[in-house]
Amino acid sequence: MSGHGFHVHGPHDHEVEHVAQHGGDRFTARLAVLTAVLSTIGAIFGYMGGHSQNAALLLKNEAAIQKTAASNQWNYYQAKSNKQNLAELSITLTSGDVQEKYRQEVERYKQEKTEIKTEADKLEAVAREADKKSEGEMHVHERWALATTLLQIAIALSAITLLTRKRWLLVGVYGAAGLGLLAGVMGYLHL
């Protein structure tokens, strides 16, 4: 609809407006209310689907950050290993006080590497956990998306039922709506 008096209505919209303005049979009124309820529930499911998708993306981003931090720690570990190797080589090439200095450096590098490895392992564990949570959120998102799609199908079938007046199509409306609600409950329960 524009501000210049030009209106575009779908057949379903026209029928709902007609019933609202002029009254109508109970079949049409009930189907219009059912469609409105399904649309509202579908909007809620769509919102929840977007929320769970955003949560999954944030968790995946967190996992990537932690993986990068772990990689940095492993690079630092490698640098300490290289220094340790040079100190060990220096032990064989020197003697006396200088050799003792390099022995102490080797021990210091070993201890530093142990601490660095512990930190890198912690970061990798955090990354794995964030990845796992992200996958869980994506699974929930898929449930919400399925629920939304099934409710949209029910709404479309409702419009077709209203236009054709074929009551047997209500089986499809109720079936798709029921499956959509079931998928929504599964999303809510994180199943």
Count up the domains in the chain and report the number: 1
pLDDT the model gives residue 164: 87
Is the pLDDT score of 2 beyond 70? no
Does 127 map to a domain? yes
Domain range for 163: 12-188
* 122 located within any domain: yes
Closest CA to 10 of 164, 163, 149, 153: 163
CB 122 within 8 A of CB 69: no
Q: Which residue has the tokens 């990798």?
A: 124
Tell me if 106 is assigned to some domain.
yes
Q: Look at residue 78 and tell me if it is in a domain.
A: yes
pLDDT, tens only, 80-118: 999 999 999 998 888 888 888 999 999 999 999 999 999
The reply to whether 156 falls in a domain is: yes
Residue 161 within any structural domain of the chain: yes
